[in-house]
Structure 1
Amino acid sequence: MSEISASEQAVCEFLAPLVRSSAVGGEIVIPPADGYVFSPLEFFLSGVLREVHAEWRHESLDGIYPQLFCKTEEREIDLVGVVSFISDQSLAPLHLRLQLTLACDRVSWVDLRLGERMDGECRRNPYGSLDSMQCLVERLEAIDWYYHVGYDEREA
């Protein structure tokens, strides 16, 4: 088994208690915390994108603003929302499905979709347009995703 990265370990430490304490089909409630709670996901997802897309070598995510965050299966989350790019603080839609291993110590499966394709480009909205991106859940199937990265297979 390969060594776990620091960002994957941080994601597991962040998600494990949330999925363990949430019911399948239920919303995942984020407890109040000091600082920004989605930071582990921002670092992890930026790394996942870097592995496949060269333009992510100098890009990172700088904020995740969820509209839907739920537990879809045991150890599996579904997150729909908006992300901020660190380079220019612009916004784009995000759909993440992710599963942890049985021990919740590794990520076993990822399906990441990010950004909406418009005229061949990844549409980036100004940061102030957060309110204009509120209907993502209703139009997930209609979005032409600019980035799509998936790896490994779901565990039973």
Structure 2
Amino acid sequence: MSLDEIRSYIGDLDGVLTLEPQPGDGSPEISWGDLFFYYAPDGVVPRTQPFATIVTKDYPDDKGSRLDRPDTYRVNIAVVASTFRTLIGRETRESVPRESETDDVDPSTADVVIAHPVYASAGWVSVVDPGTATTPTVHELLRSAHSRARDTYERRTRSK
């Protein structure tokens, strides 16, 4: 699955606001070219974390996925604790930064669901270059994350 296919898939979900930082828009240079997906039917960036992101390069504290390779990207998705446990085989609170982990999965391996190399303890999972093995799972995780973001938005809107 290409980056554009994932972007399109997420963009087709209702109420999605996609941020794509670019030079000159005031965003930090490190974020340029990455994608951040929010549920925001009003078009206003909410004061919450995105429900999914796509990163296209290594960050200073996150080089294990080796996103410096040509045409390599990583989709990151917020999941609930039970989903994290099912996919990863441990609790989010047991997740620590990649340098200390002893996972058997190389974080640069393509088409495998892994605990996010930095934000696993916050309930995030990742897939480098999703392909045939992970596409159905990635789609389901994205729909689920979008649904939770929508529910949160609607609760906050009702309470105003």
Q: Common fold, TM-score beyond 0.5? A: no
Normalised TM-score (structure 1):
0.29
- Which structure shows the higher strand fraction? 1
